[in-house]
Amino acid sequence: MHNSEILLHVTRGALVECLHRGHIAVTDSAGRILASAGNPEVFMFARSSMKPIQALPVLETGAAAAYGFTDAEIAILAASHNGEEFHTATVSSMLDKLGLDEHCLLCGPHAPYHAPSAACLAQAGIEPSELHNNCSGKHAGMLALALHLGADTGTYMDPAHPVQQRMLETVSLLSGYPAAKIVLGTDGCGVPVFGLPLVRLAAAYARLGELSRSPEQQPGRLSAAAKRIISAIAAHPGQLAGTGRYDTRLIEVTQGRLIGKMGAEGVFAVAAPELGLGLALKIEDGAQRAIYPAVTEALVQLGWLTGPESDALSGFHKPVVRNWKGTEVGEILPVFRLRQEG
């Protein structure tokens, strides 16, 4: 990754023991760069940060309405959830409405990210199911869209499937990046993942927020879909991630003024609907521990967080490093300054 910038120092005692490098892009909905760090044009996979955009076709086509999805169920369309009981119950409810069961989800099972939930399953001798997969809400939405389009539900992960083609078109539309240039890979849950410049991910989030803010000024099903996904996530932030997770806390702390979504391998994106702006970040080495301090610092520098909001996120902003006894031995410190552009 060319021209990355040191974003964070990880200290131990008086020494800087480790560095995390990366890239940040802040744009308007047209993709005009307003602030940056590193190389905002770096090409990367958006991973799960693209889920709110992928949710739009489920809403725009009328699939969500046809199956009576609630706001909580719509919020989990965009989730990388913890696999807590309320998450699995939400996805199970969606499948019931579709007349399907968990075996129709092709994401594969994994243990809940939420350690107490994983421990409860283990103590009960219950194997994790597809419902516990952090992407199960997205996959339930894909099944709903397949049924609504009259398409095969057994091949919905295929890049050529109508569901995936609709999602690719929507990603291209909101990011302003040609579909033919988007590089497709395979995500951890088996569906296509989108490769594009970081600046275009920021633009997609800016456009999502812009569409959601004034659907009456931008009539159409896409605007209504954007408003619904943003309002559903704001009303049910726990569905997006879960207990103790940054994505959920950012939305709770800002009362839905900021909507942020992580992606694997060091990706995060934020929509600021009231401003019509978006932010996207990529940590070069993919370290999850580096994402949240860097994002929070960027939000502070941009003035997108108030003082009390920043204080409420302080545990994510400059987290301490502890040894196995719990003794504080260092911290993770943001060290970058955003370049103001334009």
Length of the chain (residues): 342
pLDDT tens digit string along 53-103? 999 999 999 999 999 999 999 999 999 999 999 999 999 999 999 999 999
150 in a domain, yes or no? yes
User: In this structure, is residue 59 part of a structural domain?
Assistant: yes
- CA–CA separation, 79 and 110 (whole Å): 15
Q: Are 280 and 199 contacting, i.e. CB atoms less than 8 angstroms apart? A: yes
Q: Are 243 and 83 in contact (CB under 8 A)?
A: no
Domain-located, residue 41: no
Per the structure, the count of domains in the chain is 1
Decide: 141 and 67 in contact? Cβ < 8 Å.
no
Gyration radius of the chain over CA positions: 19
pLDDT exceeds cutoff 70 at 290: yes
- 179-198 per-position pLDDT tens digit: 999 999 999 999 999 999 99
Reduced 3-state DSSP string for 135-156: CHHHHHHHHHHHHHHCCCCCCC
pLDDT band, residue 320 (cuts 50/70/90)? very high
- Would you call 164 exposed, middle or buried from its count of C-beta atoms within 10 A (0-12, 13-18, 19+)? buried
Distance CA 210, CA 226 (A): 9
| pLDDT of amino acid 216 | 55
pLDDT tens-digit series, residues 135-179: 999 999 999 999 999 999 999 999 999 999 999 999 999 999 999
- Closest among 82, 307, 72, 55 to 170, alpha carbons compared: 55
Distance of alpha carbon 82 from alpha carbon 57, whole angstroms: 24
Report if residue 323 sits inside a domain.
no
Residue labelled with tokens 């999602």: 167
Three-state DSSP state, 275: coil
Tens digit of pLDDT for each residue in 213-269?
865 555 578 999 999 999 999 999 999 999 999 999 999 999 999 999 999 999 999
Examine residue 216 and state whether it is found in any structural domain, yes or no. Answer: yes
Identify whether 82 is part of a domain: yes
DSSP 8-state code for residue 131: G
Q: Is residue 201 part of a domain?
A: yes
* Alpha carbon distances (Å) from 46 to 51, 53, 153, 199, 305: 9, 11, 25, 11, 24
Does a structural domain hold residue 280? yes
| Structural domain boundaries, residue 271 | 47-284
